[in-house]
Amino acid sequence: MRIAVLSDIHGNVVALKRALEAVDALQPDSLFCLGDVVGYGPEPEACVELIRARADVCLAGNHDLAVVGALPLSAFNPVAREAILWHRTHLSRESLDWLASLPTRQDLPDLTLAHGSPRAPVWEYVTDPETAAENYDAFQTPVCLIGHSHLAMAWRLHKERGQIEARLTGEEPGVPLALDIGDKWLLNPGGVGQPRDHDPRASFALLDLEARTWTWHRVAYDVDAVARAILDAGLPEVLGTRLYLGW
């Protein structure tokens, strides 16, 4: 089974459409979304409509939860809060209800899915070896797919003599990463709508369960168009300028 994995779309429908075009060219068996369909970007309703139509599985991210009132606005910085409030007025009741229905973690027979981390699905960022290692016992499957950080990362978790080693593997677009049997893996596809690894291109990944490989993909999109739409919407300008920087 080959699964396309997307995360952190953040209301950026231009990037999402380009990512879906690249996904279609790969012809996966399924498409999973790890959350944060909304937040920050100028077209949340269009993103929800596309993900509802295309994704076989979708999680709720912290921004999705905030938009539906399940998390306090005080937990977010001022720019994120302003975007969340704007999104609340630009999403249909149907879309808000759908976002409210999504889980933050899902356990499948061969995979664990979590927005942040398996032990703390809403908020935890897995960006260092200590945090990665501390999540070893939080999932039982060989692979756990995570988002939230907007960073394309793979953490290989190896246990020996009771000690857990977490080793980071960075992104090499188009190059399959072999998922060694016997280890556990925390895999992050990166961000579609707001990458934060200094590469502005939308990021997603393909998981091949039979071949036991994970392959990142990057696709360019019209950042100018999104930055203009952010200004036209009256959202904070920084939400557009950061897209050029990939941060």
DSSP H stretches of helix in the chain:
13-26, 44-54, 62-67, 78-88, 93-100, 129-134, 223-233, 238-245
- Owning domain of residue 208: 2-245
Specify the CATH number for the domain of residue 198.
3.60.21.10
Residue 82's pLDDT is: 98
Residue 189's pLDDT is: 98
**Statement: residue 171 has pLDDT above 90:** no
What is this structure's pTM? Answer: 0.97
Amino acid occupying residue 201: R
Q: What is the pLDDT of residues 178-193, one digit of tens each?
A: 998 889 999 999 999 9
Q: What total number of domains does the chain contain?
A: 1
Q: Do 216 and 203 contact (CB within 8 A), yes or no? A: yes
